[in-house]
Amino acid sequence: MNEAIKSILPGQGLGSIKFGISRDELKKILGEPDEKDAYETEGIKTEDWHYDEIEASFSFDEEDDWRLCVISVNAEYYEFKGKSLLGEDFDEVLAFLEECGMDDLEVEDHSSDESPDHKLISSEDDMINFWFDEGILQEIQWGPRFEDDESIIWPS
């Protein structure tokens, strides 16, 4: 894996990949994605780029001028605050996040027939989501911070 993209940086990006870059800029860094998904939700067009080898996805929204606005990772390689959390159990992750001073954590149950034990720990301050299945962290998903409900604070 690439050391330059190992660290999950809330509000900033993934190591050297910063929120706000264009699709062409990401392509220069990572090459062509293995898969592209385009869809529309509530009138907002989105394109997700998936890279199988690094187990990461990058989302671009038309309303943000097709700038990188969400990153998702699901490999133990990635680190949050210096620790690999993917593959860890719910209680351990929650305790670590609290130790890191994240005091706005919310826990939600997103269980369904397809995913009977699907939980989320989220932080609105850090714009980050930790997704669990059967008590194990499967995915970390995050985006840039917001100045208000509408204005993104793009990293410089």
- What is the structure's pLDDT at 30? 95
CA 125 – CA 134 distance, rounded (Å): 26
Distances, alpha carbon 28 to alpha carbons 24, 35, 64, in Å: 6, 16, 20
pLDDT in tens, 108-145: 999 998 888 999 999 999 999 999 999 999 999 999 99
Q: How many CB atoms lie within 10 A of CB 41?
A: 8
- What end-to-end distance do the CA atoms of the chain give, in Å? 25
For the segment 37-57, the average pLDDT, to the nearest whole number, is 95
Q: Considering the chain, what is the average pLDDT of its residues?
A: 94
Structural tokens at position 69 = 């606005």
User: What are the structural domain ranges in the chain?
Assistant: 1-73, 83-142
pLDDT in tens, 26-37: 999 999 999 999
- Of the chain, the percentage scoring pLDDT greater than 70 comes to 99
Q: CA angle 129-132-68, nearest 5°?
A: 35
Asked if pLDDT for residue 83 goes beyond 80, the answer is yes
Which CATH number does the domain 1-73 belong to among 3.30.460, 2.60.40, 3.30.1460, 3.30.1450?
3.30.1450
For the segment 68-93, the average pLDDT, to the nearest whole number, is 96
Asked if pLDDT for residue 1 goes beyond 70, the answer is no
- What is the structure's pLDDT at 150? 79
